[in-house]
Amino acid sequence: MNGQHKRCVQVLNEALHEVFAERADVYLLGEDILDPYGGAFKVSQGLSDAYPGRVLTTPISEASLFGVAAGMALRGQRPILEIMFGDFIALGLDQIVNGIAKFREMYDDQVTVPLVVRTPMGGRRGYGPTHSQSLEKLLLGVPNIVVVAASECHDLRELVVAVVEDERPVFLIENKLMYGRPNRRPEHGHIGELAVRESGALYPALTFSGTDFSEGTATIVTYGGMVPVVLDAVTELILEHEIFCEVVALSQLLPIELEPVLESVARTGALVTAEEGTLTGGFGAEIAARVQEAAWSDLRGPVQRVAARDGIIPSARALEDAMLPSAHDVVEAIVALEAVRS
Amino acid sequence: MPTLYERMFFIRRFEESLLDLFAQGKLVGTTHTYIGQEANAVGIIDHLEPERDVIFSNHRCHGHYLAFTDDDFGLLCEVMGKAPGVCGGKGGSQHLCKGNFYSNGVLGSIVPVATGIALAEKQKGTGAVSTVFLGDGTLGEGVTYESLNIASLWKLPVFFVVENNHYAQSTPIELELAGSITARAEAFGVETGELATTDVEEIHDTAGRALARIRETGEPYFLVLDTYRYSPHSKGDDNRDPAEIEKRRERDPLTVAGARLGEEERRDIEEGCERRLSETIAAAEDAPAATPEAA
């Protein structure tokens, strides 16, 4: 499919080369990022050969590395911290919550902390309970940071440039399966059969429609690695059930960006949230709460949430599949919504 | 230039005044006083250049702050929740920032940040030393050792100062620390020094040599100062044996340094400090309270 599109890992890698060329204050820190290895997922390949003084391969010390990057940012540099697996942000939560997120406000705006943390989340590769999670929901309750989720349909180059230029601490959530897939950008306002609108925000939202935004049964809001899963579900809903849904694929998860969701819900009157993280206390819960506050009268039924079960992500393929949300789960949520309403 | 004694005396009286203000109900929140440890801050920080060098301090940061910035009004307003506070009242006692001075309230949390600061300053070629103040309690935090490893591995100009006051809050060192303190740093190939004194002149000499080493080699140095606080961990939480405290008071750094001064000279210094402090307290009391910004 779409052989002319570069793979996401290549787009991200080229964008990093671009920001390194543009700005002498950009540094990359992380584990195993030196060439020829170039990082566990190869996003950082070629950087250490091109910029040897600005790429620092580190000890396996995530808890400290967040702080080291914060110290660099406080002193005017632009560190990019590559965390090999998103699961490992748990080691850095003290630095994130009590330092990175607080310095600017608690020091009364005397400082900024313009650092970027890049990390892959997501399962479906059989890596098991501690290398497969989608833990970005832990970050969504932390004020004063920015959480950006990359998806294969977003302009990944633009995202990388924007996160590096941002004066705020930004977490760029990548996705393991996304790396190897083509970066599918809209052509003539379409990705595949679906019409696409892109918001003009710094971290844009993409809204997809199978009816050119004229009608829709429900809105599905999602992000990151769930975007292709949801798009598959939308295709199935059209072909198998003749149900037309809009999809809002956010890239800015925090601060919560509600406007594209509300715009779509105003057209469709129903909402399903879809995320790969566990259900309780997640992205969908926050979105659902806010949408019912802001658009109660637009909703014809209760907001449905699709997410991972509240448990571990097992290693065995069939067990992992049973744990994580699938296109079928999304279809079922929409069909259930229809049943409630009819 | 104020003498080392004058700076120590002012810090002592500032901290005692905070406890008085708490007792009068004019302060809320908390404070961690530096009473008894003044010679450490004053002896070390006299060698630092505030325009170039950087300090990251901890919850017990007032002494370091005053020695580095001389900003008693900004600090008192901050602790009192007044608008002219150095962080507008947002940080309070433990979360200060002014110029090249920072502090934060989670033990150990500051050490990686100080290490990152040293990395940035090295890359920028400023020649700055990044000084981080730890205590014996902080040696229980794992990131301290990750940071020692990184600072040594990357040859970063970090000055690790351990003020070992023998208590982690209320827990005596025998119950919170195993093994040798200096051997911890030596295991990472970091040069160490150790000093058990309350004499600010001795601390000043040792710190001067340590900083000269850092500036010469560009590499970290780990200095352990045996010290003691006479006041509670915070305000009223003290279960130590009063006899132990009294014994330590015999070597009060103010008594040691004051003995080198003539009676009249010492009285002039102390009266000057008292006048300045009274003016600062009066000005801070008159200052407007910090209020939420209009939405």
**Hey, where are the domains in chain A?**
8-179, 190-341
pTM score: 0.96
| Nearest-10 crossing angle of helices B200-217, B38-45 | 40
The predicted pLDDT at position A337 comes to 86
Q: Between A58, A65, A71, which is nearest B117 by CB?
A: A71
- Whose CA is closest to A40, among A174, A158, A228? A174
Measured CA to CA in angstroms, residue A320 lies from A122, A123, A226, A324, A330 at distances of 11, 8, 15, 6, 17
pLDDT tens, position by position, A257-299: 999 999 999 999 999 999 999 999 999 999 999 999 999 999 9
- Amino acid type, B189: G
| Pairing, β A146-149 against β B221-226 | unpaired
CB contact under 8 Å between A95 and B109, yes or no, is yes
DSSP state for residue A239 in the 8-state scheme: I
Look up residue A268 and give its two tokens. 């469709």
Domains A8-179 and A190-341 share a fold: yes
What is the CA B155 to chain-centroid distance, rounded? 24
CA distance B107 to B115: 15
Look up residue A128 and give its two tokens. 């098991």
The predicted pLDDT at position A64 comes to 98
Q: Catalytic amino acids of A?
A: 131
CA distance A111 to A100: 11
pLDDT tens, position by position, B14-70: 999 999 999 999 888 888 999 999 999 999 999 999 999 999 999 999 999 999 999
- Chain B residues with at least one Cβ partner in A under 8 Å: 54, 56, 86-88, 90-91, 95-98, 102, 104-106, 109-121, 123-124, 130, 142-143, 146-147, 149-150, 153-154
Q: Computed over its alpha carbons, how large is the radius of gyration of chain B?
A: 19
Question: Are the beta carbons of B111 and B162 closer than 8 angstroms?
Answer: no
Look up residue B38 and give its two tokens. 């003044």
What three-state secondary structure class fits A122? coil
Q: How far is B87 from chain A (nearest CA, A)?
A: 5
pLDDT tens, position by position, A144-188: 999 999 999 999 999 999 999 999 999 999 999 999 999 999 999
Percentage of chain A exceeding pLDDT 70 = 98
The predicted pLDDT at position B125 comes to 97
The predicted pLDDT at position A4 comes to 75
Residue pointed to by tokens 């600061």: B117
Binned at pLDDT 50, 70 and 90, residue B1 comes out as low
The predicted pLDDT at position B293 comes to 78
Residue pointed to by tokens 């100009």: B157
Instruction: Indicate the average pLDDT of chain A.
Output: 96
The predicted pLDDT at position B28 comes to 82
Q: How far is B147 from chain A (nearest CA, A)?
A: 6
Least confident of A43-52, A58-67, B167-176, B216-225: B167-176
- Whose CA is closest to B78, among B68, B67, B66? B66
Binned at pLDDT 50, 70 and 90, residue A249 comes out as very high
Sheet strand arrangement including A190-191: A190-191, A194-198, A206-209, A245-250, A218-223, A271-278, A304-308
The predicted pLDDT at position A342 comes to 57
User: Which residues, including other chains, have CB under 8 Å from residue A173's CB and lie 6 or more apart?
Assistant: A86, A119, A120, A121, A136, A147, A148, A149, A150, A224, A253
First and final C-alpha spacing in chain B: 45
Q: Please give the CATH number for the structural domain made up of A8-179.
A: 3.40.50.970
- Whether A3 shows a pLDDT value over 60: the answer reads no
Q: Which fold has domain A190-341?
A: Rossmann fold (3.40.50)
CA distance A171 to A163: 8
Mean pLDDT of A295-312: 96
List helix spans (H) across B46-97: 62-69, 72-80
pLDDT tens, position by position, B125-161: 999 999 999 999 999 999 999 999 999 999 999 999 9
Higher pLDDT residue, A75 or B235? A75
- Whether A339 shows a pLDDT value over 80: the answer reads no
CA distance B24 to B13: 16
CA distance B16 to B280: 14
| Pairing, β B191-196 against β B221-226 | parallel
Least confident of A189-203, B17-31, B226-240: B226-240
CB contact under 8 Å between A98 and B105, yes or no, is yes
| Pairing, β A194-198 against β A190-191 | antiparallel
Q: How far is A319 from chain B (nearest CA, A)?
A: 36
CB contact under 8 Å between B97 and A107, yes or no, is yes
Which stretch of DSSP H or E encloses residue A177?
Answer: helix A176-179
- Whether B279 shows a pLDDT value over 80: the answer reads yes
CA distance A149 to A206: 12
Look up residue A85 and give its two tokens. 């697996």
Mean pLDDT of A87-100: 98
The predicted pLDDT at position A338 comes to 76
pLDDT tens, position by position, A219-237: 999 999 999 999 999 999 9
Q: Please count the other Cβ atoms lying within 10 Å of the Cβ belonging to residue A190.
A: 12
Look up residue A126 and give its two tokens. 């059989």
- Domains in chain B and their CATH numbers? 4-286 (3.40.50.970)
CA distance B2 to B264: 16
CA distance A125 to A122: 8
Partners of A234 in beta bridges: none
The predicted pLDDT at position A340 comes to 63
Question: Are the beta carbons of B156 and B130 closer than 8 angstroms?
Answer: yes
The predicted pLDDT at position B83 comes to 96
Q: What angle do CA B276, B249, B36 make, to 5 degrees?
A: 45
> Following DSSP, what letter does each residue of A105-117 receive, concatenated?
HHTTTS-----EE
List helix spans (H) across B81-199: 110-124, 143-153, 181-186
Question: Are the beta carbons of A83 and A135 closer than 8 angstroms?
Answer: no
The predicted pLDDT at position B295 comes to 45
